[in-house]
Each structure stands twice: as C-alpha cells, then as structure tokens.
Amino acid sequence: MKFLICANYLPHVLNFRGKLLEAIAKLGYEVHVLAPDPKAHTEDYNTLVNSGYFIHSIPMQRTGTNPIADIKTLMVTYRLLRKIKPDYILSYTIKPIIYGTLAAWLAKVPKRFILFSGLGYTFQEIEDTNQRSVFQTLIYSLHQQALAKSSKVFFQNPDDLNLFKKLNLLKSTTPTVIVNGSGVDVADFNVLPFPHDDSGNIKTSFLLIARLLKDKGIVEYVEAAKIIKEQHPAAEFHLVGYIDENPAAISQSQLDEWVANDIVNYWGKLNDVRPAIAASSIYVLPSYREGTSRSVLEAMAMGRPVITTDAPGCRETVTEGHNGYLVPVKAVNELAAAMEKFIVNPELIAIMGQESRKLTEEIYDVHKVNEIMIKEMGLVNKMA
C-alpha cells in the first residue's frame, strides 16, 4: 500500500515529518512525497531518495493567490495522484491542505488527512479584528471545501481547533484529533552544559529561532533586548533564522540595523540549531500564534527554560514558574521583565531547564506523537 505526503517545501518534509515517514515506511508502506521543485534541495532530495521514498515535483507558489497558478497546482497534483494511486494522503501547510486534499478527493484517494501545524497571519488577523477581508473570505472558503473532503483533521493545539469551529470551517461530522506538536527526537537533542562567563557563572544568554516574521515576535524580542541591555549590558541575545517570502517578514535593513547596533548576535539560517541552543541559557519565543513550536521543543529537550507568550500553540509548552514564564502577546515590557527574572535569579536557569527536559520526554517525544498519528490514520504493520 502507498502513503503520500504533500508539502510546500521539501526540506521541511525531512526536518518536521522525517521521523513520521520513517515509522510509516517501517510498517511496510511505499512512501511518496509531493513538493515543489524538490531537486533544488539536493541534500534533502538525496536523503529522501536514499531512504527509499519516491519524490514527485508539483508546481506550487508558496505565497500569493494567483488563480491560474493555483489551478495548475490542483490539476498537476490531480494527474499525479491518478498515476500514483496512493491509499493515504497527508497534507500540511495552506496550499497542500487546500489543493492537495481537493485533488486527492477528485482522484478518489481513499484516506485523506490534513495536519494544521500552524495557522499563520491570515487567521491571526481575524482574532484581532473579528472582521474578514476579501482575501480571508477566499482562504476560509477554500479551507472549508478542503476540510469537507478530508477523512480526519489533526491540530497541534486546542485553540486552533476551537477557532475553526467558531469560523464554521469544520463540519461537525469531520473527525478531529489534537496531537502534541510535531514532536522532537529527544535522543538527538541531548542536555548540554550552559555557557559560562569568565567568573564561572551561567551566562545570561537568550536565543530566538524562527523565520524572521513579525508575527514570530521578532520585533518584541529586539525591543526587550534593548531594555535589558540598558541595565545588564553583559546579557547576550542570539537570533537564528532567515527572511521569508511572506507579507509579515521583517526587512533586511531592519535586521542589518539590529546587528550593526550590537543588539543581537545573528547566526543566519542553520540546518542544525543545536550549536546555537548550546550557546544559550534561556530560549525565547514571543510568537503571536503557533501550532506547537518545534524550536521551543528542541530547546526544552536540551534543558533550556522557556519564555513564550500566552498564545495558542505557545502556552502549552510552559507551565508558569515551572519550566519558564508566559507573557502577553506584543507585550515588550512584560517580556523584558520575564528575562530579568533569570538575570536576577540565575539559579532558576538550571532548575527550570531540568523541568523542560522532563516535560519533553513525557509529552513531546516524537515517537509518542507519531504513534498517535499512525494509529489515528489507521495504518497497520504490513510486515507482520
């Protein structure tokens, strides 16, 4: 039998769904991957091919709503699915969810699953204003059509599920499941010692890993860093990520200014984030909304306390005062105050870091998350 995953960016398939596909392949399923321009990502492409997976290219613009381009995406995906004849399809991110699911329905793929790993700025704005733009109305309508054709929908936090119900995007008859994010392989993210200063004390070194989008709280992170540096100039602020083709992206000039003014130490885009986490003592994600942040889970697995927002997909990772602190969305002063707690009480860093690791092992282990998804998709061991 054949299992197919539809995505909008090949490297993310390996990074976020690699362990899931590995587990499915071990059950005896033939694994297929649909993504735009896969051969442009040579290393990831070769890794997936060497794993025995079949990789297929589809035309897809990651951003924008060009009707002609999107219809082409739908039709090419449909023709490929008719040729491959998968028994199961899992689609995630906006365009694969919409066009991958609709194409699978047209191609009569028996089992069609959707995974929401985050909702993005289109859904963030509706919560802020409670008003729909023309663009939002279109996107919500397309989601509604795709969801109606799905066999089951996975969400990574209860808030996203409740929002979809509130917006009437989900039929009451469509099965839904909440999973604990994408999970993290705790065996790959070992607890490492904290960085120390010249006196042998734990260094107050903060880190944020994200695509450089405003709704990831990048600006709030920098503004809080400015406040902290006025009182505690030795504090370090690290930033890992890249400027995305996204309406919410910060500008290159903004980033250059922050670096030039020595506010942040910019690492650029990293394929392996572990060195950056090892160089930090506290992880910070002031995001406006997440599915469940993978970077938070990776930092927690390496024994780092977390400061994040009391927002969907963020609040689930932190028990207030236990493994970190929660702050309101867009609240720079509160964010700086939470940072200062670790500076004034450095002993909390190690104590809360231990709790982060424990929480990751108990709830967010990728193998536990994948076990739930495999069961909910009805996949069975074909090798038995």
Confidence at residue 47, expressed as pLDDT on a 0 to 100 scale: 97
pLDDT top residue among 171 and 121 = 171
- The domain limits of the chain are 2-183+366-376, 205-364
Q: Write the pLDDT tens digit of every residue in 317-371.
A: 999 999 999 999 999 999 999 999 999 999 999 999 999 999 999 999 999 999 9
Burial 156-183 (b: 16+ CB within 10 A, else e): bbebbbebbeeeebbeeebebbebbbbb
Q: What is d(CA 109, CA 103) in angstroms, rounded to the nearest whole number?
A: 9
Phi, psi of 115 (to 5 degrees): -125, 120
- Structure confidence at residue 63 as a pLDDT band (50, 70, 90): low
Whether the predicted pLDDT of 86 surpasses 80: yes
CB 355 within 8 A of CB 5: no
Q: How many CA atoms lie within 13 A of 248 on its CB side?
A: 18
Residue appearing with tokens 């009451």: 172
Protein fold of 2-183+366-376? Rossmann fold (3.40.50)
Average pLDDT over residues 157-182: 92
Of 109-118, 204-213, 244-253, the poorest mean pLDDT is in 244-253
Query: Any idea of the CA torsion for 312, 189, 273, 300, to the nearest 10 degrees?
Result: 30
pTM value surpassing 0.85:
yes
Q: Are 10 and 44 spatial neighbours (Cβ–Cβ below 8 Å)?
A: yes
Give SS3 for 249. strand
Same-fold call for 2-183+366-376 versus 205-364: yes
Tokens of 299: 């930092």
Those residues with Cβ within 8 angstroms of residue 195's Cβ, 6 or more apart along the chain or in another chain? 202, 203, 205, 278, 279, 280, 281
Any idea which architecture 205-364 has in CATH? 3-Layer(aba) Sandwich (3.40)
Reference 339, options 330, 327, 351; nearest CA is 327
Query: How far apart are the C-alpha atoms of 56 and 36, rounded to whole Å?
Result: 8
Q: How far apart are CA 159 and CA 163, in angstroms?
A: 6
